[in-house]
Amino acid sequence: MTSGEIELETKPHKKSVLGYVIELVVYIVLMYACIALVPEYVMQRTVVQGESMEKTLYTNESLLVEKFTKYFKSPAREEIIVFSPHKDTDEYYVKRIIGLPGETIQIKGNDVYINGNKIEDVHKKSESMYGSGIAGNQITLGEDEFFVMGDNREVSLDSRDESLGPIKASQIEGKVVLRIWPLDKFGVPK
Protein backbone atom coordinates (compact mmCIF):
# COMPACT_ATOMS: atom_id res chain seq x y z
CA MET A 1 0.00 0.00 0.00
CA THR A 2 1.37 3.35 -0.97
CA SER A 3 1.09 6.50 1.04
CA GLY A 4 -2.18 8.32 0.60
CA GLU A 5 -4.16 5.18 -0.21
CA ILE A 6 -6.89 4.20 2.14
CA GLU A 7 -7.84 0.61 2.49
CA LEU A 8 -11.60 0.09 2.71
CA GLU A 9 -12.90 -2.96 4.35
CA THR A 10 -16.00 -4.39 2.66
CA LYS A 11 -18.53 -6.40 4.57
CA PRO A 12 -21.47 -8.28 3.16
CA HIS A 13 -24.59 -6.15 3.30
CA LYS A 14 -27.11 -7.46 5.80
CA LYS A 15 -30.82 -6.86 5.28
CA SER A 16 -32.73 -5.46 8.15
CA VAL A 17 -35.90 -7.09 9.42
CA LEU A 18 -37.83 -4.21 7.84
CA GLY A 19 -36.23 -5.00 4.46
CA TYR A 20 -37.41 -8.61 4.68
CA VAL A 21 -40.92 -7.51 5.64
CA ILE A 22 -41.10 -5.09 2.69
CA GLU A 23 -39.85 -7.78 0.30
CA LEU A 24 -42.44 -10.24 1.65
CA VAL A 25 -45.25 -7.69 1.19
CA VAL A 26 -44.15 -7.07 -2.42
CA TYR A 27 -44.22 -10.83 -3.14
CA ILE A 28 -47.67 -11.18 -1.56
CA VAL A 29 -49.03 -8.31 -3.68
CA LEU A 30 -47.56 -9.88 -6.84
CA MET A 31 -49.03 -13.29 -5.98
CA TYR A 32 -52.42 -11.69 -5.34
CA ALA A 33 -52.25 -9.96 -8.72
CA CYS A 34 -51.49 -13.26 -10.45
CA ILE A 35 -54.13 -15.25 -8.58
CA ALA A 36 -56.98 -12.75 -8.41
CA LEU A 37 -56.52 -9.99 -10.95
CA VAL A 38 -55.20 -11.93 -13.95
CA PRO A 39 -58.19 -14.33 -14.14
CA GLU A 40 -60.61 -11.45 -13.50
CA TYR A 41 -59.27 -8.98 -16.05
CA VAL A 42 -56.69 -10.60 -18.35
CA MET A 43 -56.89 -14.37 -18.99
CA GLN A 44 -59.03 -17.18 -17.61
CA ARG A 45 -59.41 -20.90 -18.21
CA THR A 46 -62.85 -22.34 -18.86
CA VAL A 47 -64.15 -25.84 -19.61
CA VAL A 48 -66.76 -26.58 -22.28
CA GLN A 49 -69.91 -28.37 -21.12
CA GLY A 50 -72.56 -29.44 -23.62
CA GLU A 51 -73.01 -30.01 -27.33
CA SER A 52 -73.89 -26.51 -28.55
CA MET A 53 -70.48 -25.79 -30.11
CA GLU A 54 -69.80 -29.27 -31.49
CA LYS A 55 -67.85 -29.55 -34.66
CA THR A 56 -65.62 -26.86 -33.15
CA LEU A 57 -65.58 -27.45 -29.37
CA TYR A 58 -66.55 -30.53 -27.36
CA THR A 59 -67.45 -31.28 -23.73
CA ASN A 60 -64.51 -31.22 -21.29
CA GLU A 61 -62.19 -29.28 -23.59
CA SER A 62 -60.26 -26.57 -21.73
CA LEU A 63 -60.03 -23.12 -23.25
CA LEU A 64 -58.16 -19.92 -22.48
CA VAL A 65 -60.39 -16.86 -22.60
CA GLU A 66 -58.73 -13.49 -23.16
CA LYS A 67 -60.58 -10.76 -21.24
CA PHE A 68 -58.50 -7.63 -21.73
CA THR A 69 -59.04 -6.38 -25.29
CA LYS A 70 -62.82 -6.11 -24.88
CA TYR A 71 -62.15 -2.80 -23.13
CA PHE A 72 -60.46 -1.40 -26.25
CA LYS A 73 -61.91 -3.29 -29.22
CA SER A 74 -65.39 -4.55 -30.00
CA PRO A 75 -65.73 -8.31 -30.64
CA ALA A 76 -65.76 -9.32 -34.31
CA ARG A 77 -68.07 -11.54 -36.32
CA GLU A 78 -67.26 -15.27 -36.06
CA GLU A 79 -65.22 -14.88 -32.87
CA ILE A 80 -66.01 -17.46 -30.21
CA ILE A 81 -66.88 -15.71 -26.97
CA VAL A 82 -67.76 -16.59 -23.40
CA PHE A 83 -70.60 -14.62 -21.83
CA SER A 84 -72.85 -14.65 -18.81
CA PRO A 85 -76.55 -14.47 -19.72
CA HIS A 86 -77.66 -13.45 -16.22
CA LYS A 87 -75.89 -11.04 -13.86
CA ASP A 88 -76.09 -12.79 -10.52
CA THR A 89 -75.04 -16.26 -11.64
CA ASP A 90 -71.90 -18.24 -12.37
CA GLU A 91 -73.46 -19.68 -15.53
CA TYR A 92 -71.45 -19.01 -18.70
CA TYR A 93 -72.12 -19.81 -22.35
CA VAL A 94 -69.66 -20.34 -25.20
CA LYS A 95 -71.04 -19.21 -28.58
CA ARG A 96 -70.00 -17.68 -31.89
CA ILE A 97 -70.80 -14.07 -32.81
CA ILE A 98 -73.04 -13.95 -35.87
CA GLY A 99 -74.56 -10.45 -35.79
CA LEU A 100 -72.94 -7.16 -34.80
CA PRO A 101 -74.41 -4.01 -33.23
CA GLY A 102 -76.82 -2.15 -35.51
CA GLU A 103 -77.27 -5.04 -37.96
CA THR A 104 -80.58 -6.60 -38.97
CA ILE A 105 -80.78 -10.37 -38.50
CA GLN A 106 -83.30 -12.81 -39.93
CA ILE A 107 -83.34 -16.59 -40.20
CA LYS A 108 -85.26 -18.14 -43.07
CA GLY A 109 -85.31 -21.93 -42.98
CA ASN A 110 -81.71 -22.92 -42.30
CA ASP A 111 -80.15 -19.72 -43.61
CA VAL A 112 -79.04 -16.63 -41.71
CA TYR A 113 -79.46 -13.21 -43.32
CA ILE A 114 -77.62 -10.11 -42.17
CA ASN A 115 -78.93 -6.79 -43.50
CA GLY A 116 -80.88 -8.79 -46.10
CA ASN A 117 -77.86 -10.74 -47.38
CA LYS A 118 -77.52 -14.50 -46.85
CA ILE A 119 -74.25 -15.28 -45.08
CA GLU A 120 -71.96 -18.17 -45.85
CA ASP A 121 -72.28 -20.10 -42.63
CA VAL A 122 -69.21 -22.37 -42.66
CA HIS A 123 -69.22 -23.12 -38.93
CA LYS A 124 -72.60 -24.76 -38.53
CA LYS A 125 -72.50 -28.49 -37.83
CA SER A 126 -75.31 -29.53 -40.16
CA GLU A 127 -77.68 -28.08 -42.71
CA SER A 128 -80.61 -28.07 -40.31
CA MET A 129 -81.34 -26.13 -37.14
CA TYR A 130 -84.11 -26.44 -34.60
CA GLY A 131 -85.77 -23.20 -35.66
CA SER A 132 -85.40 -19.51 -36.25
CA GLY A 133 -86.91 -18.44 -32.94
CA ILE A 134 -87.15 -14.69 -32.48
CA ALA A 135 -85.15 -14.18 -35.68
CA GLY A 136 -87.95 -15.63 -37.81
CA ASN A 137 -88.91 -11.99 -38.27
CA GLN A 138 -86.23 -9.36 -38.83
CA ILE A 139 -84.68 -8.04 -35.64
CA THR A 140 -82.37 -5.06 -35.48
CA LEU A 141 -79.61 -5.24 -32.91
CA GLY A 142 -79.06 -2.31 -30.57
CA GLU A 143 -75.79 -0.36 -30.51
CA ASP A 144 -74.40 -2.63 -27.78
CA GLU A 145 -76.00 -5.95 -28.81
CA PHE A 146 -74.63 -9.08 -30.48
CA PHE A 147 -76.46 -12.03 -32.00
CA VAL A 148 -74.74 -15.28 -31.01
CA MET A 149 -75.30 -18.88 -32.07
CA GLY A 150 -73.77 -22.24 -31.28
CA ASP A 151 -72.17 -24.15 -34.15
CA ASN A 152 -74.47 -27.11 -33.43
CA ARG A 153 -77.67 -25.25 -34.36
CA GLU A 154 -79.87 -28.29 -33.72
CA VAL A 155 -79.33 -28.18 -29.94
CA SER A 156 -77.89 -24.74 -29.13
CA LEU A 157 -79.64 -22.37 -26.74
CA ASP A 158 -78.59 -19.06 -28.25
CA SER A 159 -79.86 -15.65 -29.39
CA ARG A 160 -82.70 -17.30 -31.33
CA ASP A 161 -84.31 -18.23 -28.03
CA GLU A 162 -86.57 -15.63 -26.45
CA SER A 163 -85.18 -16.41 -22.97
CA LEU A 164 -81.69 -15.38 -24.12
CA GLY A 165 -82.08 -13.11 -27.14
CA PRO A 166 -79.31 -10.80 -28.32
CA ILE A 167 -76.61 -10.32 -25.72
CA LYS A 168 -75.23 -7.01 -24.54
CA ALA A 169 -71.55 -6.10 -24.73
CA SER A 170 -71.49 -5.89 -20.92
CA GLN A 171 -72.38 -9.62 -20.71
CA ILE A 172 -69.28 -10.67 -22.66
CA GLU A 173 -66.53 -12.07 -20.46
CA GLY A 174 -63.99 -12.44 -23.25
CA LYS A 175 -63.03 -14.26 -26.43
CA VAL A 176 -61.67 -17.77 -26.75
CA VAL A 177 -58.04 -17.57 -27.90
CA LEU A 178 -56.67 -21.06 -27.31
CA ARG A 179 -57.76 -24.66 -26.72
CA ILE A 180 -55.30 -26.05 -24.16
CA TRP A 181 -56.82 -29.49 -23.56
CA PRO A 182 -56.79 -32.13 -24.92
CA LEU A 183 -53.20 -31.75 -26.05
CA ASP A 184 -53.81 -33.41 -29.42
CA LYS A 185 -56.24 -30.53 -30.23
CA PHE A 186 -54.04 -27.78 -28.77
CA GLY A 187 -54.37 -24.57 -30.77
CA VAL A 188 -56.70 -21.80 -31.81
CA PRO A 189 -60.25 -23.10 -32.36
CA LYS A 190 -61.71 -21.86 -35.64
Among 3, 14, 52, 156, which one carries the catalytic annotation? 52
- Alpha carbons 175 and 69: distance in angstroms, whole number: 9
SS3 at position 84: coil
SS3 at position 130: coil
**156 counts as catalytic:** no
Rg for the chain (alpha carbons), in Å? 26
Among 67, 73, 95, 190, which one carries the catalytic annotation? 95
- Alpha carbons 14 and 141: distance in angstroms, whole number: 65
Residue 74 backbone dihedrals phi, psi, to 5 degrees: -70, 145
> Virtual CA dihedral for 55, 59, 61, 64, nearest 10 degrees?
90
**124 counts as catalytic:** no
Which contiguous run of DSSP H or E holds residue 38?
helix 38-41
Q: How many CA atoms lie within 13 Å of 49's alpha carbon, on the beta-carbon side?
A: 5
Q: Could you list the active site residues?
A: 52, 95
